[in-house]
A and B are shown apart, each in its own frame.
Chain A
Amino acid sequence: MGRIHVAVREEPLSCDAALAFLDDPSHGAVCTFVGRVRNTNLSRPVEGVGYDAFDALATRILAAIAEEIHRRWGDELDVWLEHVKGELPVGGVSVVVAVASGHRAESFAACRHAIEEIKRRVPVWKEEHYADAESAWIAGRSLRL
């Protein structure tokens, strides 16, 4: 049975920790996605981003996404999903998705699925801080049922 790790963290996210978690001789493939703070948005210079999160529900939904990966691509996959909470500078890591599998097709597909579902379902919000000292919460996708 593959392992699952999910978290919303206020400490810096670590790709090395993800790769160590996924280290297993049965895995011939590890696919990672790392989300970072970009220095512009819609041509406006960005200096940093603050992330707010509803930790309890966010963690449950991350776990649900990981379990979906097991059902869809096989429960032998190892899955690491972490999202940050708090302030990040440009280049800071906001999300780490990492999936390990025997062969590459499953890792690539599951990794893509995970980041798309995180953006679609996980209750996290970003407030961009601009070079002109203004800040703005980014409009997103409604979760209203």
Chain B
Amino acid sequence: MTPHLSVEFTLYGAFRAHTGHAPLRLTLPAGATLADARRELPAALRAVAPGFADDALLAVSAFADERQLLRDDTPLSDGAAIAVLPPISGG
């Protein structure tokens, strides 16, 4: 069993101002879920973008993979690629 998981998070929309197009990589304990990742993301964002202060935007953002939206209780797997989707405004 892998003791830790490495998961890549790509952040869209308003997050681009802080991360550009570079994904964030989080190392999480085995068994971690998206809820655990949600708690870690603000600090991870501030590590690459010290000016990031919009934790409220993260709180209303959804998680998804390339097929579907994901609930916070979704377990993560090593090497997973997750999209962080702020509120949408297309059309």
Chain A residues within CB distance 8 Å of chain B = 35, 51-54, 56-57, 60, 83, 94-95, 115, 118-119, 121-127, 137-145
Q: Which residues of B contact A95 (CB under 8 A)?
A: 90-91
Whether A143 contacts B88 by the Cβ 8 Å rule is yes
Closest to A83 in B: B90
Most-contacted residue by chain A among B12, B13, B69, B70 (CB, 10 A) = B13
Does any Cβ of A come within 8 Å of B68's Cβ? yes
* Given A52-B12, A57-B83, A125-B14: A144 and B61 interface contact (C-beta under 8 Å): yes
Q: Which residues of A contact B68 (CB under 8 A)?
A: 57, 60
Whether B67 contacts A57 by the Cβ 8 Å rule is yes
Whether A145 contacts B90 by the Cβ 8 Å rule is no
Bin the interface of chain B by size.
Answer: 20 to 34
Whether B71 contacts A119 by the Cβ 8 Å rule is no
> Per-residue 0/1 for B72-91: is the Cβ within 8 Å of any A Cβ (1 yes, 0 no)?
10000000000101111111
Measured CB to CB, the closest approach of chain A to B13, in angstroms, equals 3
Q: Describe A's contact surface by its main secondary structure.
A: mixed
Q: Which 4 residue pairs are nearest across A and B when measured between Cβ atoms?
A: A124-B90, A125-B13, A140-B89, A56-B66
Measured CB to CB, the closest approach of chain B to A41, in angstroms, equals 11
Closest to B64 in A: A57
Closest to B61 in A: A144
* Given A52-B12, A52-B13, A60-B67: A145 and B62 interface contact (C-beta under 8 Å): yes
Within the complex, which residue of B16, B17, B60 is in contact with A144, where a contact is CB–CB below 8 Å? B60
